[in-house]
Amino acid sequence: MAILNVPATYATPALANAAASSGDTILIQAGTYTETASIDFIAGITITGAGATPNDVILDNSTTTTVNMSAAGARTFSNLTIRNSMASGGSTKNALKANNVGVITATNVYFTTLNVTCVDKCEIGSSFTGCMFAIAFNATGSSKDGFRGISSNPSTLKACLFLGFTGMGVNALGSTLINCTAYEAMTAVAPTYGLYAGNLHNCAIWTPNVT
């Protein structure tokens, strides 16, 4: 189980991923790492930001989905931001897309996009703790969710914050949410629901358009 240091040993997270094996940790120092192709992190690895806060380490892409899983297996993320900066034409340009194969464990991770769903289609058993899902609202867009899953692949989200959605803060009927908050301040496009999930425990929803 090796620690692959970015940028000391590998210039970018993508290069570290190409050299990694299951069980390794990619440790990323503070900085913004912008890619033009999606990073398909291999199964069984941990990706950790070494900054003081998640804002100190940013994985960014303005061309396509930032992190896009293609193979089954678990990945662990902590203390970083996964951002998609595609300003237009980004209907499929997520911060993270798991394609119903990736089991994601994320702690203190910020997922941000400009006008599309932040996290899409995680595999059953995924969990998110202390994460933020934020969409910088595009006034012409609609149905942009913070977190989107399917009922047969329930996830658990604890102490998470959902901002700026125009579809749903969470669109995952089978999932469990604990101590989560959904906040929608925009009025140009009404969101569908704040939190659409199977089990809600001590959650708060604020929006001018929907209950």
What digits encode the pLDDT tens for the residues 144-196? 677 877 666 788 999 998 887 666 667 777 788 899 888 765 444 445 556 76
Amino acid, single-letter form, for residue 7: P
Strand partners, 199: 176
What digits encode the pLDDT tens for the residues 42-69? 999 999 999 999 999 999 998 899 999 9
What digits encode the pLDDT tens for the residues 87-145? 665 556 889 999 888 899 999 999 998 767 788 888 888 999 999 988 765 544 555 67
Can you read off the two tokens belonging to residue 52?
């003081």
Q: pTM for this one?
A: 0.88
Q: What is the pLDDT of residue 173?
A: 75
Higher pLDDT: 110 or 207? It is 110
One-letter-per-residue 3-state SS of the chain: CCEEEECCCCCCHHHHHHHCCCCCEEEECCEEEEECCCECCCCCEEEEECCCCHHHEEEEECCCCCEECCCCEEEEEEEEEEEECCCCCCCCCCCEECCCCEEEEEEEEEEEECCCCCEECCCCCCEEECCEEEECCCCCCCCCCCEECCCCCCCEEECCEEECCCCEEEEEEEEEEECCEEECCCCCCCCCEEEEEEEEECCEEECCCCC
Q: What is the pLDDT of residue 139?
A: 43
203-211 CB contacts, 8 Å cutoff, 24+ apart: 203/177, 203/178, 203/179, 204/180, 205/169, 205/181, 206/181, 206/182, 207/182, 207/183, 208/184, 209/184, 210/184
